Amino acid sequence: MFSLCLQPSASLKVQREEIIGSRGYYSTRVARNPNLEKLQTNYLFPEILERELKHVEKYPNAKVISLGIGDTTQPLPEPVALSMSNYARALSTPQGYTGYGLEQGNKLLLGSNVSIAVQDPSFPGYIDSSVIMGQSGDLKNDSGRYGNIKYMKCNLENDFFPDLSKIERTDVIFFCSPNNPTGHAASRQQLQQLVEFAQVNGSIIVYDAAYSAYISDSSPKSIYEIPGSRKVAIEISSFSKTAGFTGVRLGWTVVPKELLYLNGFPVIHDFNRIICTSFNGASNIAQAGGLACLSPEGFKEVMFKVDYYKENARILVETFTSLGFRVYGGSNAPYVWVHFPGSKSWNVFNWILDKTHIITVPGIGFGPAGEGYIRVSAFGHRESILEASKRLITLLCHTN
């Protein structure tokens, strides 16, 4: 048997010793993915967690309330949990057992030579995924922006919907409505503009409808309510923020068969291929839960959970409004977007944490246009929301 590796030749031995010798430690010769070096140092939520831990060290007896990360807190609807429980139980019986199921997922589809646009502010995942895939270009010093990403500013001046006349064409437009973090749900007219903008530019909209169940007014709950959208839009959503599946993990992606690449090839075929290759579908138990969410009984209870969080949001909006702040979101979304004009959002974050032991999210973490805002999550227990409201009123009535 060949034994090069047990007794390496002199030259290879020397080479290896050089690798170790020159630096005092052994590393592989594999270069780090340069895209990863471009990522900004701290991912928003770990940074917030770190500040929370430091705060707890400083105030060991404080009762910290987290209105930061948008993690659900209400138990699952009973019929949904029951359905998953029964499904899991049956997996140990010959009749109930199933192996590989249908597949799904959404990575790697368009490759790295793709230009993207995102709402500013928006959920950091869109940008960070694009950076990792090599689509972003380099980070421009101090601006907090990547060179090849187009930022669609959404702020007070434009009613939190981008001025599309100022946006250059990109291949992909990430668009989240109701938006995380601003809570703004785009109107029908605004989404018609967006679809027409994509049609004119030959762009693909990736429409994130994760919060659509929170819409109270007549704003569309799906991009497909807009005529012509099937030729230009993919829609993604999940059970996370409605049925509380943040831990159970189940979402979906709609890729209309009418959506075509420049060469006429249907996007759905590549999507399917990637899923079959790189993913193998969501857990079958989670899927059983998803089906139960869609049953009449399950759906009703899911909407009770949504109503619970909407009432939380209403309390938070009322609290901040009564204190004289301008507040956005909260009526069509589980997030309240509070304006502190002229302030740095990390300073506001620190000040609120220090004075009230409440965790929020600094708006700047969602993009440069989030500066001066904080995002307050309504996904807490009712008692926490009420307690937070009390603390804020105590703090701010004394301060203002």
HSE-up of residue 339 (Cα within 13 Å, Cβ side): 14
188 contributes a contact to its own copies by CB under 8 A: no
Pick from 65, 117, 152, 172: which binds its own copies (CB under 8 A)? 172
**Which amino acid does the sequence have at 355?**
K
387 binds its own copies (CB under 8 A): no
| Residue 101 makes contact with its own copies by CB under 8 A | yes
Bridge partners, 336 (sequence order)? 329, 376
Question: How many CA atoms lie less than 13 Å away from 311 in the CB half-sphere?
Answer: 11
Q: Do the Cβ atoms of 67 and 381 come closer than 8 Å?
A: no
12 makes contact with its own copies (CB under 8 A)? yes
Contacts of 61 (CB under 8 A, 6+ apart): none
Side-chain-facing half-sphere of 195: CA atoms under 13 Å: 23
Considering only 65, 206, 223, 259, the residue that binds its own copies (CB under 8 A) is 259
What are the C-alpha distances in Å from 51 to residues 16, 304, 340?
A: 43, 34, 20
Asked if 94 is part of the footprint of its own copies (rule: CB under 8 A), the reply reads yes
Q: Which of 206, 210, 232, 313 binds its own copies (CB under 8 A)?
A: 232
Query: Within its chain, how far is the Cα of 276 from the centroid?
Result: 24
Q: Which is nearer to its own copies, 116 or 317 (CB)?
A: 116
Shortest Cβ 393–its own copies spacing (Å): 27
Nearest CA to 378 among 69, 45, 121, 159?
Answer: 69
Least distance in angstroms from the C-beta of 355 to its own copies: 27
- The answer to whether the beta carbons of residues 239 and 250 sit under 8 Å apart is yes
For 376, the enclosing helix (H) or strand (E) is strand 373-377
In 3D space, the residue among 216, 234, 215 whose CA is nearest the CA of residue 224 turns out to be 234
Any contact of residue 274 with its own copies (CB under 8 A)? yes
Candidates 48, 67, 72, 175; binder of its own copies (CB under 8 A) is: 72
Q: How many residues bind its own copies (CB under 8 A)?
A: 122
Q: Is 284 in the site for its own copies (CB under 8 A)?
A: yes
Q: Which span sits near its own copies by CB under 8 A: 43-51, 138-146, 318-326, 337-345?
A: 43-51
> Which is closer to its own copies, CB of 190 or CB of 360?
190
26 counts as binding its own copies under rule CB under 8 A? yes
Q: Which of residues 102-131 bind its own copies (CB under 8 A)?
A: 107-114, 125, 128-129
Query: Considering the rule CB under 8 A, would residue 139 count as an interface residue with its own copies?
Result: no
Work out whether 93 is an interface residue with its own copies (CB under 8 A). yes
User: Which residue's CB is nearer to its own copies, number 106 or number 350?
Assistant: 106
CA distance 172 to 194: 12
Tell me which stretch binds its own copies (CB under 8 A): 38-46, 211-219, 347-355, 368-376. 38-46
